[in-house]
Amino acid sequence: MPVRLTSTQSLALSYKACRVLTRRTAHNFRFSFLTLPREMRSSMNALYAFNRITDDIGDDEIRLLDDRQKHLTAWRAAVRTALSSEVLPSTLSASDQLLDVHRYLPAISDTAARYRIPHEYLFAVIDGVQTDMQPVRMETFQDLERYCYQVAGAVGLCCIHIWGFREDPQVRQLSIDCGLAFQLTNILRDLTEDSRRGRIYLPREDFTQFQYRPEDLCRGVYDQHFRDLMRFETARAWSYYASGEGLLRYLDRPGKSILRAMLDIYGGLLRTIERCDFNVLSQRISLPTWKKLWIAGRATVQSHFGRIRWRACPRFPRISSMETDFVVPEQDLSVGFGSTSRGKAKSYLLPSVTERSFPVLLSHQDLFHFSCGFSNVCSRLNWVN
């Protein structure tokens, strides 16, 4: 029986489907979404659903390569039709191979129209997945940059249209740099998994420079040459994180919150890679859920209350109800949760998000500000869990 996807009711169902898909599969993104107002969060769910579906079509190893290419071509045509029409395709037969994913198109189309997202950015993502269908070998970093623009930089440009930003010639490049930083982090984390699929994204010129071969990567050779290569690649990624930070000053307040959370979450992954001495070949690098929630809560509080002045305290009392010591990391002394009281204040300790730690003094007012912001995150946990 034909299925119609043109009503207001189907649009709401489409956004709901995107939300469910995001909840089920977005292990890092969904926590940063917590910082956004509901309408923007729904649109980010739709954008994530578009990217997830496109990736899954390319990665569906159950299908033969020809079938995946045909499926991706059909998905491209369906997206183009949805984006170019005020009314979505009128019907789909029950045998249509895109029937399952077609329900996401109303939300994707509505999001693109509502925030005036240039369609070329969405199709760039499809082009990137098309590249992934063949064995991937990057000769130079310029080749890798081009690929990262398709699968990450273009996504970043879509995101800032949803978040809101101040027009400036630098915004486009800063957005692309953010996407490049995140994608380089993903590539370094997933080296083993990608190599098994015939995808080696690190440039051949870098392998040559550090005397480590792609064949060594496929065999899981972990030696000093590999560590030197990884140290070089992480330093490159950090340079793009530093550049991407500049985008914050051009974003509207909701955008500042979510970008701050994303920078901290993906930066946390990269920092974890460094801490394990770059051994990503024998383990899957990830951040625990509590840490992602902590980062999202911190970003939410900062967006509502701004940055605070931290005051170092050499001594502080233990909170008897806590079984372990919790502290605020040294490198996080410049960010926080409200404004520090100038009078006498009782000291509290907060969960550490890094290894290096330093005690700081927080007043009752600070804790009130923190609890207000963090409860804002907790109120949305029905979406996370």
Task: List every span in the chain annotated with CATH 1.10.600.10.
Answer: 135-287
Give the pLDDT band of residue 36 (cuts 50, 70, 90).
confident
Helix (H) / strand (E) element for 311: namely: strand 311-312
pLDDT band for position 303 (cuts 50, 70, 90): low
Q: Which token pair is 372?
A: 């207000």
Dihedral pair phi/psi, residue 190, rounded to 5°? -105, 25
Tell the residue number behind the tokens 């029986």, with chain if given.
Answer: 1
| Residues 81/89, Cβ–Cβ less than 8 Å | yes
Residue 93: is its pLDDT beyond 70?
Answer: no
pLDDT at residue 174, as a whole number: 97
Residues 6 or more apart whose CB falls under 8 angstroms from that of 306 comprise: none
Sequence-separated (6 or more) residues with CB below 8 Å from residue 358: 312, 327, 328, 329, 330, 333
Lowest-confidence segment of 23-37, 137-151, 361-375 by average pLDDT: 361-375
- The residue type of 355 is E
- What residue type is assigned to position 108 of the chain? I
Confidence of residue 375 (pLDDT cuts 50, 70, 90): very low
The highest-confidence range among 228-232, 281-285, 288-292, by mean pLDDT, is 228-232
Average pLDDT, the chain: 78
Quote the pLDDT of residue 108. 96
Helices (H), the chain: 8-25, 29-33, 38-59, 65-84, 99-102, 105-114, 119-132, 141-148, 154-163, 171-189, 191-196, 204-209, 214-219, 224-245, 253-275, 289-305, 364-378, 381-384
Kindly report which listed range (20-24, 166-170, 341-345) carries the lowest average pLDDT score. Answer: 341-345
Q: Do 206 and 229 contact (CB within 8 A), yes or no?
A: yes
pTM flag (> 0.85): no
pLDDT in tens, 49-67: 999 999 999 888 788 889 9
Report the topology of domain 135-287: Farnesyl Diphosphate Synthase (1.10.600)
Q: What is the pLDDT of residue 95?
A: 36
**Lowest mean per-residue pLDDT among 103-112, 157-166, 325-334, 364-373:** 325-334
